Amino acid sequence: MYSYDEYKAIIEKHLLDYIPVIDIKARTLFDSMEYSIMSGGKRLRPVMLLAACDFAGGDIYEALPFACAIEYIHTYSLIHDDLPAMDDDDLRRGNPTNHKVFGEDIAILGGDALLNTAMELMFRDFTYHFDNPEKLKRHCCAGLTIAKAAGVNGMIAGQVVDVKNNIKDCSHEFVDFIEENKTGALISAPIISGLGIGGADKEVVDAFTIYARLIGKAFQISDDILDMTGSAEELGKTPGKDSQQEKANFAIVNGIEQARQELHKLTITAIESIERFETQDKKFFTDLALKLEQRRA
Ligand code: GRG
């Protein structure tokens, strides 16, 4: 297994490889896609996908198209979330948001293009494995896991509920739905799909399904805490409509102290859910859970 930064370096080296050649007449589309893909970020989702494949004993280079696909989907979601019709943010990762640079029309299309490219590159990967039905099956299942997590019973559903979210009519069930779908789905999917590509058995997938769900929830709660404590603004996020409209989230509904306690409980439970595996093998995932609990960005 590699370190987080080593997986990240592999991803960043190849992140533009899967963007198709775009006709020069539509050059601005490529510029918009490239601008947001290459503007930094933790690369958490693709790193987890490669690490999960590695953990399962697979070849991380076979998982690379899926890792890039999930980062494209994540990037599209951020571009669209920043639009005036959604959170109306001027800054993302300390840089002007995509629509501030390219205009709303191209930002919408750039986001659409990233989502479509993610699907296209996964389908292209399937065509390379027609002669190996076992591998084809594993890769198709991984593609389905990613597409579902990004879709109408995953991130998009979570975003819809969040867009209509109002502090006045929030409930725990409501907040749980948003956190599990808007953010959690795209945190779990890379772990499950990476394990699948690597050929993990059911015992491993079952344990990591619990781990992934718990760190997905923990990640969103830590984001809520960062939003409330102002650390997010210091790191280049603007207080968009979300903060102005007092939308419900775990930290707002339960208070910052309870949010911190819940974050710690989720982290510990996530680590416990994979305790049956060898210390050295699972180290990446125990360290990751602790790192996410402590994160400041
Ligand atoms: C537009 C369909 C659609 C969905 C948008 C991603 C999202 C859903 C909304 C973004 C709002 C937000 C800040 C959610 C909290 C969790 C989250 C996704 C944070 C950003 O992810 P990081 O921290 O970002 O992994 P980096 O910059 O590191 O890539």
Q: Which atom of ligand 1 is nearest to the CA of 186?
A: 18
Band (167; pLDDT cuts 50, 70, 90): low
How many angstroms does the Cα of residue 74 sit away from the middle of ligand 1? 7
Burial degree of 1 (CB within 10 A; 0-12, 13-18, 19+) = middle
Q: Is residue 182 predicted with pLDDT exceeding 80?
A: yes
Q: Which atom of ligand 1 is nearest to the CA of 40?
A: 27
* pLDDT 10s digits, 48-81: 999 999 999 999 999 999 999 999 999 999 999 9
Mean pLDDT of 2-11: 97
How many angstroms does the Cα of residue 182 sit away from the middle of ligand 1? 8
Q: Which domains does the chain have, with CATH numbers?
A: 4-294 (1.10.600.10)
**Alpha-carbon torsion, ordered 23, 25, 31, 32, to 10 deg:** -100
* pLDDT 10s digits, 211-238: 999 999 999 999 989 988 875 444 455 5
Predicted TM-score (pTM) of this structure: 0.94
Q: Is 89 in the pocket of ligand 1 (CB under 6 A)?
A: no
- State residue 169's pLDDT score: 64
How many angstroms does the Cα of residue 183 sit away from the middle of ligand 1? 7
Residue nearest to atom 4 of ligand 1 (CA): 77
Min mean pLDDT across 33-47, 111-125, 174-188 is at: 174-188
Q: Report ipTM for this prediction.
A: 0.94
| Whether 136 contacts 126, CB under 8 Å | yes
Q: Which atom of ligand 1 is nearest to the CA of 42?
A: 28
